[in-house]
């Protein structure tokens, strides 16, 4: 109950006692005034709740809004000792938006909940009002006492869809029996409204976080699928993680013989690790992951018996993820932070995904380097040849199966090519093949792969791409070929058209051969339906 209300009521009673001699008349007057003042007080509560409702939706800045709400509460209740805190489930902590002690606002670090009154409110999800003998309440529910003991204490849970989102706490260190059911109802109404705002704020923040993560992952994926040089692969991983996560040291290790060798290290929070670091198998967290092939998450490195500092004295949390090709561990992606409890389920999932892509990129690079000396490029068109195509298809299909992704394959055939060769000659036919290859290369996406399948046929691989997107890209390619003319010496400008068939794993096929056959079948359908078109199974 507010101090103003109690004082006003007491003053009125004193005036009436002095004025009226008849006890019956006095009693009736007191009751009527008590009822009238109570109605006025309830009206103030209702008006205040209306203002608070508007305030809560007045700005997207949650902290700013809560401060306005606090000032409105302060008009009706004594908030000398008061706080509003938001609950964070993953860390099991309360962070304080407003914290007043003895009428002074102070900054308080987030606290972990552990058998105190706030934790009891969270557990019960009910209003807890203790108007006397607070020590008895603590003993009854086996709670811990911390700090100065209040005489009266009121805690109101902030609930949204049966989830505990935070708490409003008001307390009095001088008097007992301070808080009334009206106060409970007033704060509960406010807490209910705040719960909706917190939930909406979480959704917005979650959406923004996920969008940021998707942009990062897409960038990494684009960089890695191009099979760049090894240093570019390392740089892409390090840069993307460092830019999107704060206070991290990122390092990449590869296994060479019996040692795990540091290949790339980010700037991080402190440059304490030697650049020539070599770790023995089974040594420290990195060596253990390299040996066992199993992920290690240490949110407090002092609690992990495998941890070794290697000069990095600032590290408090560490995650080490194996880099694998098939079942063989080839290295470790290691990430450290100078804060405790940094790696939650979401960040672990993201880092595992990045480690998987890094492993695939390194494997692709190994394949590329291994067969680079072989004839993988078609001499005439300068795109990948039949052999290179089968290597890439095998690898991409393996990735698609491993990550439950789609993979589309298009087969492109030049329309009436035999007639073109007969009308002109083989040299001009070769000119036509070069022209088609150039148009294909120019119009595919960075992540796609084009090769000459044989004769007048070309193939295009679309990693992590379903049928509708692949068809859309292929329609653009088909139209570009139809519209773009090329010059034949002595014959002027001419144009060609192509027929295209597309099939998608796992919708149309499960194996490499089935995917090729399905794409070829779709191509035959395009030919039968009049050519110069894209068809699917």
Same domain, 364 and 421: no
pLDDT on residue 393: 96
pLDDT on residue 307: 93
CATH number at 351 reads 3.30.450.40
Same domain, 459 and 382: yes
In a domain, 210, yes or no: no
**444-445-447-451 Cα dihedral, nearest 10 degrees:** 10
Main-chain phi, psi angles of 111, to 5 degrees:
-120, 150
How far is CA 421 from each of CA 241, 382, 436, 445, 458, rounded to the nearest angstrom?
Answer: 53, 20, 15, 30, 17
Q: Using 70 as the pLDDT threshold, list the residues of the chain that sit under it.
A: 1-45, 225-228, 267-275, 370-375
How far is CA 444 from each of CA 63, 191, 410, 473, rounded to the nearest angstrom?
Answer: 47, 54, 12, 7
Same domain, 390 and 519: yes
Which distant-in-sequence residues (6+ apart) come within 8 Å of 10 by Cβ? Answer: none
Main-chain phi, psi angles of 436, to 5 degrees:
-65, -45
Short-list 171, 220, 214, 167, CA closest to 192 = 167
Same domain, 350 and 378: no
> What is the C-alpha to C-alpha distance for residues 487 and 490, in angstroms, rounded to an integer?
9
In a domain, 116, yes or no: yes
Mode of pairing for the β-strands spanning 104-105 and 93-101: antiparallel
Domain that holds residue 498: 374-536
Judge contact between 392 and 459, C-beta under 8 A: no
Would you give the DSSP letter of residue 23?
Answer: H
How is residue 171 written in tokens? Answer: 């307390």
Same domain, 259 and 179: no
Domain boundary among 170, 203, 236: 203
In a domain, 474, yes or no: yes
In a domain, 44, yes or no: no
CATH number at 507 reads 3.30.70.270
Same domain, 333 and 454: no
Q: What percent of the chain has pLDDT over 90?
A: 51
Helices 467-483 and 426-443: crossing angle, nearest 10°? 130
HEC profile of 414-468: ECCHHHHHHHCCHHHHHHHHHHHHHHHHHHCCCCCEEEEEECCEEEEEEECCCHH
Contacts 24+ apart (CB under 8 A), 85-92: 85/118, 85/166, 85/167, 85/169, 86/158, 86/165, 86/166, 86/198, 87/113, 87/122, 87/158, 87/164, 87/165, 87/166, 87/167, 90/344, 90/345, 91/341, 91/344
> What is the C-alpha to C-alpha distance for residues 122 and 40, in angstroms, rounded to an integer?
33
Short-list 278, 250, 275, CA closest to 335 = 250
pLDDT on residue 510: 93
Overall domain count for the chain: 3
Which distant-in-sequence residues (6+ apart) come within 8 Å of 393 by Cβ? Answer: 409, 461, 512, 515, 516
CB-count burial class (<10 Å; 0-12, 13-18, 19+) for 60: exposed
Got the DSSP string for 471-512?
HHHHHHHHHHHHH--EEETTTEEE---EEEEEEEETTT-SSH
Judge contact between 80 and 103, C-beta under 8 A: yes
The full length of the chain comes to 537
pLDDT on residue 119: 93
CA 469 to chain centroid: 24
Same domain, 192 and 245: no
In a domain, 3, yes or no: no
Looking up tokens 């009706």 gives 76
pLDDT on residue 196: 86
Same domain, 346 and 390: no
Would you give the DSSP letter of residue 169?
Answer: E
In a domain, 218, yes or no: no
Same domain, 363 and 446: no
């Amino acid at each position: 109950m507010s101090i103003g209300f109690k004082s006003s009521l007491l003053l009125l009673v004193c005036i009436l006692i002095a004025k009226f001699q008849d006890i019956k008349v006095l009693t009736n007057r007191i009751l009527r005034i008590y009822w009238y003042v109570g109605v006025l007080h309830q009206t103030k509560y209702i008006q205040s709740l209306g203002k608070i409702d508007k305030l809560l939706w007045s700005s997207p800045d949650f902290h700013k809004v809560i401060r306005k709400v606090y000032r409105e509460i302060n008009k009706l209740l004594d908030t000398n000792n008061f706080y509003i805190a938001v609950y964070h489930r993953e860390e099991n902590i309360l962070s304080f938006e407003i914290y007043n002690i003895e009428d002074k606002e102070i900054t308080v670090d987030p606290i972990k909940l552990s058998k105190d009154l706030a934790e009891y409110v969270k557990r019960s999800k009910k209003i807890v009002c203790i108007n006397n003998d607070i020590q008895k309440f603590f003993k009854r529910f086996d709670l811990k006492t911390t700090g100065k003991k209040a005489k009266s204490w009121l805690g109101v849970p902030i609930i949204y869809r049966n989830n505990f989102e935070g708490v409003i706490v008001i307390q009095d260190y001088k008097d007992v029996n301070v808080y009334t059911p009206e106060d409970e109802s007033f704060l509960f109404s406010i807490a209910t409204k705040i719960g909706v705002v917190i939930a909406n704020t979480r959704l917005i923040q979650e959406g923004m976080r996920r969008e940021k993560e998707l942009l990062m992952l897409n960038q990494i994926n684009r960089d890695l699928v191009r099979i760049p040089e090894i240093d570019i692969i390392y740089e892409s991983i390090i840069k993307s993680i460092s830019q999107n996560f704060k206070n991290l040291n990122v390092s990449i290790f590869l296994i060479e013989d019996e040692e795990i060798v540091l290949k790339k290290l980010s700037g991080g929070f402190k440059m304490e690790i030697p650049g020539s670091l070599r770790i023995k198998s089974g040594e420290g967290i990195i060596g253990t992951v390299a040996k066992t092939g199993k992920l290690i998450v240490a949110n407090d490195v002092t609690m992990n018996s495998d941890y070794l500092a290697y000069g990095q004295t600032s590290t408090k949390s560490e995650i080490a993820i194996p880099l694998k090709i098939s079942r063989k561990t080839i290295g470790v992606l290691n990430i450290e932070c100078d804060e405790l409890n940094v790696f939650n389920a979401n960040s672990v999932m993201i880092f595992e995904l990045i480690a998987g892509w890094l492993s695939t990129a390194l494997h692709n690079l190994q394949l590329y380097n291994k067969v680079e000396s072989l004839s993988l490029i078609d001499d005439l068109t300068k795109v990948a040849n039949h052999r290179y195509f089968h290597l890439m298809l095998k690898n991409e299909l393996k990735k698609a199966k491993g990550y439950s992704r789609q993979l589309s394959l298009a087969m492109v055939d030049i329309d009436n090519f035999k007639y073109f060769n007969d009308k002109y000659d083989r040299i001009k036919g070769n000119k036509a093949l070069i022209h088609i290859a150039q148009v294909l290369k120019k119009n595919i996406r960075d992540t796609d792969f084009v090769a000459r399948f044989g004769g007048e046929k070309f193939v295009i691989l679309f990693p992590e791409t379903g049928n509708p997107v692949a068809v859309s890209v292929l329609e653009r390619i088909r139209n570009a070929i139809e519209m773009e003319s090329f010059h034949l010496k002595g014959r002027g400008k001419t144009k060609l058209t192509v027929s295209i068939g597309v099939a998608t794993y796992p919708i149309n096929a499960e194996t490499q051969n089935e995917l090729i056959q399905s794409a070829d079948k779709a191509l035959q359908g395009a030919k039968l339906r009049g050519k110069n078109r894209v068809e699917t199974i």
